[in-house]
Chains A and B, each alone.
Chain A
């Protein structure tokens, strides 16, 4: 009798097994869900880091250009956009701040300047806008020609804005 009781006590009851399996199942589903979310979040953060790195790099490239380019007669050009013999499809041809206005590039277009993102899935686009601002109130756009230009670099992936950085260049000496 005592031998039977000992044997019975060493085994799980069917209820124990069922409930344990239930808990383990719920745990497994929750764990897989969590892992999936963590991985997605990490990937998203990595993409944002890449976007910020590219935006910072390109903003530095644009900001390092001269403020404007004189024409053949030495007169300062005031129109925002590319000048003669320059094209947005040839980024290396751009040599003043406003030449970059309206650029929409893939990371491969500017691979000579910035390292492309690690995640190549999806459509990455880098857009640049340039416009005159009031040098005494740089948040205010100006329709007139001024001595300050605002440059904004926006990095998108599948049309979602991941990063947007802005700087203002003035006709003073660049850092």
Chain B
């Protein structure tokens, strides 16, 4: 009897407990929803702050030529580059500049810069990366076909310039095409340009004659290839180069010596912002044969007895192991030399020639030298042949970063 009494209480209280638990769960869910909504608001603001900070940093870098040297000092000062961050209209942000090429931001104008921005709001944090790439402004002399502070002397044959002027300290003999006078104050590339390119390259040792060799970004007949396609020869002897194919930049350090390019050869830079040849020597002799004025000349694998497009060094997209391909015989790109130039054959440069030798007859012609100026040297100048370096956002490089 007593066992049944009070059963209604138990039933009602049980139901009450159930309803109460359900109610508490509903309230907890609503509270969680609210926290999530507030958190989403913070995330949205943090994201806006990160993008804004990245854009502000980009704006500062692109308008401040000294940003590389100024950055370190600004890390401890209040403001945009402060290491601890700075206030945004809503929330905060911080910026870090990263040089992934060598870790040192202020040692090289041509290093790519990664801008890392972090935006914060409440407890939320969002991160973005953007890449800024360097672009040089061409030295005015890159609009010339030939530039030399010395004199051009054509003893026999002809210097022919097309698409740009031959600018010199004076000329005698047959010069075809427009000419200009090298005036004081003309900015020449720094002589350190040879070593700067040398620092990027892979050393090779061909001896006194470099013949039947292939150098590209993916292949080197001397051993390990250079990813940038820059190969460096340092010698104390005279050097002769013939029957070679170089799709890259050849740096030759032969101070006081003669470097002769002869026979047939084909040289073109692997990168549009690199030159074809950078040479420190006493005399650069251009004695190689090119096809112009009806002459049929080519760099022939069969004639040279070498394969110039082995696996890793495609030509026109093709590689093979035969010796039956032919290539143009000329130099495409910028040729720079610290010494004088002598041209003794039918040689063609599709680019420009800079001869830094200031004294005497810095360019002597006893054959035919044709230079067809490449306007691409002005729009996309080789590194360090520039008057200034500007930074711009690499298209498509904005990325949200996740820890």
A binds B: yes
Of the listed stretches B5-13, B99-107, B237-245, chain A binds: B5-13
* B393 contacts A by Cβ under 8 Å: yes
* B320 contacts A by Cβ under 8 Å: no
* A48 contacts B by Cβ under 8 Å: yes
Q: Contact between B8 and A12 (Cβ–Cβ < 8 Å)? A: yes
Q: Contact between A41 and B34 (Cβ–Cβ < 8 Å)? A: yes
8 Å CB contact of B30 from A41, A49, A172? A41
Cα distance, A138 to B80, chains bound together (Å): 8
Measured CB to CB, the closest approach of chain A to B90, in angstroms, equals 4
User: Closest chain B residue to A40 by CB distance?
Assistant: B30
User: Is the contact region of chain B dominated by helix, strand, or loop, or is it mixed?
Assistant: helix
Of the listed stretches B57-65, B207-215, B286-294, B353-361, chain A binds: B57-65
Q: Contact between A137 and B12 (Cβ–Cβ < 8 Å)? A: no
Cα distance, A54 to B62, chains bound together (Å): 32
Chain A, 58-75, contact with B by CB distance < 8 Å: what is the 0/1 string? 010001000000000000
Please provide the chain A residues from 28 to 74 with a CB less than 8 Å away from any CB of chain B in the complex.
30-31, 34-35, 37-38, 41-42, 45, 48-49, 52, 55-56, 59, 63
B interface residues, how many (CB within 8 angstroms): 52
User: Closest chain A residue to B397 by CB distance?
Assistant: A175
* A17 contacts B by Cβ under 8 Å: yes
* B303 contacts A by Cβ under 8 Å: no
Q: Contact between B13 and A38 (Cβ–Cβ < 8 Å)? A: no
User: Closest chain B residue to A28 by CB distance?
Assistant: B19
Q: Contact between B89 and A152 (Cβ–Cβ < 8 Å)? A: yes
Of the listed stretches A79-87, A88-96, A117-125, A160-168, chain B binds: A160-168
Chain B interface (Cβ < 8 Å from any Cβ of A): 1, 4-6, 8-9, 11-13, 15-16, 19, 23, 26-27, 30, 33-34, 37, 40-41, 44-45, 48-49, 51-63, 78-80, 86-90, 93, 128, 130, 392-393, 398
